[in-house]
Amino acid sequence: MSFGDPNNPYGQQPQAPQGPYGQQPPVPPQGPYGQQPPAPQQGQPGYGYPQQAPQQPYGYPQQQVPQQGYGYPQQAPYGQPGMPGMGMPTGYASWGARVGAMLIDGLIIGVVPSILYGIAIGMAASSASDSAASIPDTSACAPGDTQCVTDAINAASSTSSSSAMPVAALILITLAGLVTFGAALFLCAKEGKTGQTPGKKALNIRLVKETTGQPLGFGMAFVRKLCHAVDGPLCGLGYWWPLWDEKSQTFADKIVGTVVVKTQ
Q: How far apart are CA 192 and CA 67, in angstroms?
A: 30
In this predicted structure, the answer to whether residue 251 has a pLDDT above a threshold of 80 is yes
Domain-embedded: residue 37: no
Domain-embedded: residue 10: no
The confidence score (pLDDT) of residue 221 equals 94
The confidence score (pLDDT) of residue 150 equals 72
The confidence score (pLDDT) of residue 2 equals 47
The confidence score (pLDDT) of residue 120 equals 86
In this predicted structure, the answer to whether residue 55 has a pLDDT above a threshold of 70 is no
In this structure, what is the dihedral angle of CA atoms 16, 17, 18, 24, given to the nearest 10 degrees? -40
The confidence score (pLDDT) of residue 156 equals 62
Report the mean per-residue pLDDT for the chain. 74
Model pLDDT for residues 142-155, shown as the tens digit of each residue: 565 566 667 666 66
Mean pLDDT of 92-108: 93
Q: How far apart are CA 203 and CA 102, in angstroms?
A: 10
Q: Give bridge partners of residue 259 from the DSSP assignment.
A: 208
DSSP-assigned letters across all residues of 14-74: P-PPP-GGGPPPPPPP--GGGPPPPPPPTT---TTSPPPPPPPPTTSPPP----PPTTPPP
In this predicted structure, the answer to whether residue 3 has a pLDDT above a threshold of 90 is no
The confidence score (pLDDT) of residue 260 equals 95
The confidence score (pLDDT) of residue 81 equals 43
Domain-embedded: residue 124: yes
Q: How far apart are CA 20 and CA 42, in angstroms?
A: 35
Mean pLDDT of 222-249: 92
Residues 202-233 as b/e (b if ≥16 CB within 10 A, e otherwise) read ebbbbbbbbeebbbbeeebbbbbbebeeebee
| Highest averaged pLDDT of the listed ranges 4-8, 113-117, 204-208 | 204-208
Top pLDDT among 53 and 198 is at 198
Question: pTM of the full predicted structure?
Answer: 0.54
Domain-embedded: residue 17: no
Domain-embedded: residue 9: no
Q: How far apart are CA 27 and CA 49, in angstroms?
A: 23
**3-class state of residue 9 by DSSP:** coil
In this structure, what is the dihedral angle of CA atoms 187, 190, 195, 196, given to the nearest 10 degrees? -60
Range of the domain at 189: 95-262
Domain-embedded: residue 6: no
Domains contained in the chain, number:
1
Mean pLDDT of 117-132: 76
Q: How far apart are CA 19 and CA 157, in angstroms?
A: 137
Domain-embedded: residue 140: yes
Query: Which residue, 249, 217, 214, 209, is CA-closest to 81?
Result: 214
Kindly indicate the confidence band of residue 37, based on its pLDDT and cuts at 50, 70 and 90: low
Model pLDDT for residues 153-209, shown as the tens digit of each residue: 666 665 554 445 678 888 989 999 999 999 999 999 999 999 999 999 999 999 999
Domain-embedded: residue 66: no
Q: How far apart are CA 195 and CA 193, in angstroms?
A: 6
Model pLDDT for residues 18-31, shown as the tens digit of each residue: 555 555 555 555 55
Note whether 252 and 227 are within 8 A (CB).
yes
